[in-house]
Amino acid sequence: MNVNQPVIEQEEKVEEKQYSYLNLGPTHPATHGIFQNVLKMDGEIIVEAEPTIGYIHRAFEKLAERRPFYQITPLTDRMNYCSSPINNMGWHMTVEKLIGLEIPKRVQYLRVIIMELARISDHIICNTIIGQDTGATTGFLYLFQMREKIYEIFEEICGARLTTNIGRIGGLERDIPQKAWDKIDKFLVEFPIAFKEFTSLLERNRIFMDRTIGCGPISAERALSYSFSGPNLRAAGVDYDVRVMTPYSSYEEFDFIIPVGSNGDTYDRFMVRQEEMWQSLSIIKQAIEKVKKEPAGIFSARTPEFCLPPKEEVYNDMEALIYHFKIVMGETEIPKGEVYHCVEGGNGELGFYLISDGGRTPYRLQFRRPCFIYYQAYPEMIKGSMLSDAVITMSSMNVIAGELDA
């Protein structure tokens, strides 16, 4: 019951059946984030759903038109806040593409490590929440412990937990410290153990399988028509992964499998994410090996006009101070042009469409937000299913409110 409730017109014709209307959201315990769905119900069967979004619309695209390029990174943090580093790096790579920066191999591998850690933390949230919504709270409590470990690694690297603002245009702001490496090594040992426990709790659990198989399915054709991407599209059986299709940050050098499902239902989405976490672990291990082969100490392209110099140099070196000032005040020459770059975010193809007119700020920046695009299929996916299935369908789609509403 709220004032913003969209009105579904009552049909004038007197029908034999009477439908009831149910307001799922905007604040509802079972929706993670702020979404409103007005459901037309026949008993417990959903006949029709009318989603309303925009409850945390923050005008990212307008804000981005007023921010210098390096200041947009904190904005991207707050889009898909479950895997902020991927957003940060996606944005950095977009700008690097625009200005034609060549990134050293070591930096690319370091980015891969950070991005894959972020992917794991994103998928942990989604999968444990599916467990939570089906009544298995234990898994949530188990794996959130591991998520804290990932946060600790991020803290060692950049100082923040959730909204990381990690990296800079041209690389990272500092080298990954030894403490972080130690924590990563420890994580690589501890996580598989905890994750296996989680796996054995849910993956072949009869109750869980009965609950999720066939729940909220979507066919590959419909998924493509709705421009799905990421794990949700792969669960429907389309092996589209940006990391493979248009490799960035040297992903072409890594050996990994793209898991695909067959039915596109909740169980498949869950399983695709489960397998992706294992693949991410393997990518991290490969990347660590690759980093070891590269000359140590390189953490940025260090092109003075575009890359912010390290703070020690700013305080001690005249030239670095000048460049720092120039970058911060927007005196650098950013080329004109229009560029699209996409990365495989936690939820799918996260694209940045950037038009630069050579000024301090982007002329137009559009974020291709995977959540926003695939959430519109939600009414179709839950049509004809039970109310409780609608809830786990939503949690298995991993709709992140910040990304949805931008």
Partner 1 sequence: MESTSIQQGITVGAKPEGYEGAGFFATSLDKVVGLARKNSIWPLPFATSCCGIEFMATMASHYDLARFGSERLSFSPRQADLLMVMGTIAKKMGPILRQVYEQMAEPRWVISVGACACSGGIFDTYSVLQGIDRIIPVDVYVPGCPPRPEQIIDGILKIQHLVETESLRRRDSEEYKAMLNKYGIE
Partner 2 sequence: MEGSTQDKVITALKDRYEDQILHIDTPYDFLTVSLKKEKIVEIIQFLYNHPDTKFQYLTTLCGIHYPELNQIAVMYQLHNLVANQRIRLKIYLPAENPVTPTITPIFAGANWLERETYDFFGVIFEGHPNLKRILNVEDMIIFPLRKEFPLEDQRREDKNDTMFGR
Q: Which is nearer to partner 2, 63 or 322 (CB)?
A: 63
Binding to partner 1 by residue 34, rule CB under 8 A?
A: yes
Among 112, 283, 377, 390, binds partner 2 (CB under 8 A): 377
At which residue do the structure tokens 């000359």 appear?
295
Angle at 331 between CA 330 and CA 335, to 5 degrees: 90
Among 6, 20, 43, 145, binds partner 1 (CB under 8 A): 145
Residue 79, SS3 per DSSP: coil
Distance of CA 176 to the CA centre of its chain: 22
Closest CA to 144 of 129, 133, 154: 129
Give the number of residues written for the chain: 406
> How many residues belong to the site for partner 1 (CB under 8 A)?
39
The nearest distance, CB 34 to partner 1, in angstroms, is: 5
Among 42, 44, 148, 252, binds partner 1 (CB under 8 A): 148
Describe the chain by its helix, strand, coil percentages, rounded to 5: 50, 10, 35
Residue 288, SS3 per DSSP: helix
171 CB contacts (<8 Å, ≥6 apart)? 103, 104, 107, 299, 300, 301, 302, 307
376 binds, among partner 2, partner 1, none (CB under 5 to 8 A by kind): partner 2
Stretch that binds partner 1, among 32-40, 216-224, 311-319, 342-350 (CB under 8 A): 32-40
Closest CA to 301 of 74, 85, 105, 97: 105
**Sheet hosting strand 336-344, strand order edge to edge:** 336-344, 349-357, 364-368
Binding to partner 2 by residue 41, rule CB under 8 A?
A: no
Binding to partner 2 by residue 343, rule CB under 8 A?
A: no
Dig out the tokens for 364 from the structure: 């137009």
Dig out the tokens for 395 from the structure: 């949690």
Dig out the tokens for 28 from the structure: 């509802």
Q: Which is nearer to partner 1, 100 or 159 (CB)?
A: 159
Q: Which is nearer to partner 2, 131 or 348 (CB)?
A: 348
Residue 40, SS3 per DSSP: strand
Site string for partner 1, 310-349 (x = CB under 8 A): ----------------------------------------
How far apart are alpha carbons 95 and 118 in whole angstroms?
21
Binding to partner 2 by residue 61, rule CB under 8 A?
A: yes
Binding to partner 2 by residue 23, rule CB under 8 A?
A: no
Binding to partner 1 by residue 27, rule CB under 8 A?
A: yes
158 contacts 168 by C-beta, under 8 angstroms = no
Binding to partner 1 by residue 194, rule CB under 8 A?
A: no
Give the residues lining the site for partner 1 (CB under 8 A).
Answer: 2-4, 26-29, 32-34, 54-59, 62-63, 74-75, 77-78, 81-82, 125, 140-142, 144-145, 147-148, 151, 161-163, 401-402, 405
Give the residues lining the site for partner 2 (CB under 8 A).
Answer: 53-54, 57, 59, 61-63, 65-66, 97-98, 222, 224-228, 238, 240, 245-246, 337-340, 342, 349, 351, 353, 355, 363-364, 366, 368, 372-377, 405-406
